[in-house]
């Protein structure tokens, strides 16, 4: 297995739109395993392929306490949503920043698994928030886009400084 490099805000590559997964082959299983390993090592509760420079509609998530419930969503589509929930969000592409974002409390979605089989899922709370955060990545959207321009600019400055210091 391989730990992959996670692209950081404000890298423009995070702004590209991911394209549907069409071939369900062995390389997708490898991608799933590598992304899970990368996510657990970070550590994080979700990772979109866009974050590791792969422009595919592919997401892994594990919101369980002991990292025992890895999930994978291929070509996810939101079917319905209900209510609102405001929670602090972070992103592996925006390290060490946590800010409140309002999301849907409950969602239902349709997706495929790594073998191409379709399934539907109802999610609420943290899982719902995490799925919405990851689906945003597929559209080139980041949680900092929901913040005020002032906050976003401040975070961008911080990230650019961090980059200079670690290069």
Residues at the site binding Ni ion, with contacts judged by CB under 5 A: 91
134 is catalytic: yes
Give which of 53, 72, 52, 54 is closest to 62, Cα–Cα.
Answer: 72
Residue number, 3 or 116, with CB nearest to ligand GNR: 3
Could you tell me which residues are beta bridge partners of residue 81?
107
Residue 92 Cβ, how far from ligand GNR at the closest point, in Å? 4
Residue 107 binds to ligand GNR (criterion: CB under 6 A): no
Mention every residue, 6+ apart, whose C-beta is less than 8 A from residue 23.
none
| H or E stretch covering 108 | strand 94-112
Distance in angstroms (rounded) separating the CA atoms of residues 138 and 76: 10
Distance in angstroms (rounded) separating the CA atoms of residues 16 and 132: 17
Q: Which of ligand GNR, Ni ion, none has residue 45 at its interface (CB below 5 to 8 Å by kind)?
A: ligand GNR
| Catalytic, out of 134, 139, 160, 165 | 134
Q: What is the three-class DSSP state of 92?
A: coil
Among 70, 90, 95, 140, binds ligand GNR (CB under 6 A): 90
Residue 130 binds to ligand GNR (criterion: CB under 6 A): yes
Active site residues: 134
Q: Which residues bind ligand GNR (CB under 6 A)?
A: 44-48, 51, 89-93, 129-130, 133-134, 137
């Amino acid at each position: 297995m391989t730990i992959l490099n996670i692209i950081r805000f404000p890298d423009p590559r995070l702004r590209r739109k991911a394209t549907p997964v069409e071939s369900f082959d062995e390389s997708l299983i490898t991608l799933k395993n590598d992304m899970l390993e990368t996510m657990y090592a970070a550590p994080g509760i979700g990772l979109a392929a866009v974050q590791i420079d792969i422009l595919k509609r592919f997401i892994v998530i594990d919101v369980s306490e002991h990292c025992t419930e890895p999930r994978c969503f291929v070509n996810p589509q939101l079917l319905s949503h209900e209510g609102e929930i405001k929670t602090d969000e972070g992103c592996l592409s925006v390290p060490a920043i946590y800010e409140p974002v309002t999301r849907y409390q409950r969602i239902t979605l349709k997706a495929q698994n790594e073998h191409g089989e379709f399934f539907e899922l109802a999610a609420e709370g943290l899982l719902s928030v995490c799925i919405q955060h990851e689906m945003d990545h597929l559209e080139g959207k980041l949680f900092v886009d929901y913040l005020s321009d002032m906050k976003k600019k401040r975070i961008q400055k911080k990230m650019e400084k961090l980059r200079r210091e670690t290069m």
